Amino acid sequence: MASNLDSVSDTQRTLYPYVTGTSVVALKYKNGILMAADMGGSYGSTLRYKSIDRLKPIGKHSLLGASGEISDFQEILRYLDELILYDNMWDDGNSLGPKEMHNYLTRVMYNRRNKFNPLWNALVLGGVKNGQKYLGMVNMIGINFEDNHVATGLGNHLARPILRDEWHENLTFEEGVKLLEKCMRVLLYRDRSAINKIQISKITEEGATLFPPFSLKTYWEFSAFKNPTVGAEGSW
């Protein structure tokens, strides 16, 4: 009887995340998909890591971005490595496209949610195959959708209204990058976990490209930034 109790007490679940990344923003543009994220990793509210890659090419046709628990993201990447290896072993001239990758991730996330042991991430999956652009997301409990632009985390509240106003299907690469920079700048101002070290990547029919990290030009002299709590109830 004691041994059974011991085995039950040894069962662990992810109760809260430890090292986390914040928002990912992505959109379709004329030739493919553009995706942006910062490179910060927060340990609670402490910005512990400042060079974490949260955008990864997956196979030949897909690009993956993740917010949430970094170690769970690494586990998801291991799952995808196995999936791509198995797919390549068929050597049938075909390869998994972004829609198949997104469907796979929705099943993985929902499966783990049903075990009450979720992978604590929100994922963005975009890609191009046979001239068809695809962009979707899935969260930690398996809720998923596809759209012309998506965002995770605080970006879902602050970046998507900007995207709804300014996105159109004939965006050039330069216009898409400018729009993503605008979204990331708003998030940098408003999200305490965001850092000014941004990575942008694109994927087209030719494949994925990850661009070097860069910093956004910012302006902190707005009066609301100088005394953000003035007039707030209970403030000093």
pLDDT tens string 79-131: 999 999 999 999 998 999 999 999 999 999 999 999 999 999 999 999 999 99
Residue indicated by tokens 């490595």: 81
pLDDT at 236: 59
In sequence order, the 6+-apart residues with CB closer than 8 A to the CB of 178 are none
DSSP state of 191: -
What's at 155, amino acid-wise? G
Reported pTM: 0.90
Question: 22-78 pLDDT, tens per residue?
Answer: 999 999 999 999 999 999 999 999 999 999 999 999 999 999 999 999 999 999 999
Please list the active-site residues: 14
Domain ranges in the chain are 28-218
Buried/exposed 16-35: b ≥16 CB within 10 Å, e otherwise: ebebbbbbbbbbbbebbbbb
Per CATH, is 28-218 categorized as 3.60.20.10? Answer: yes
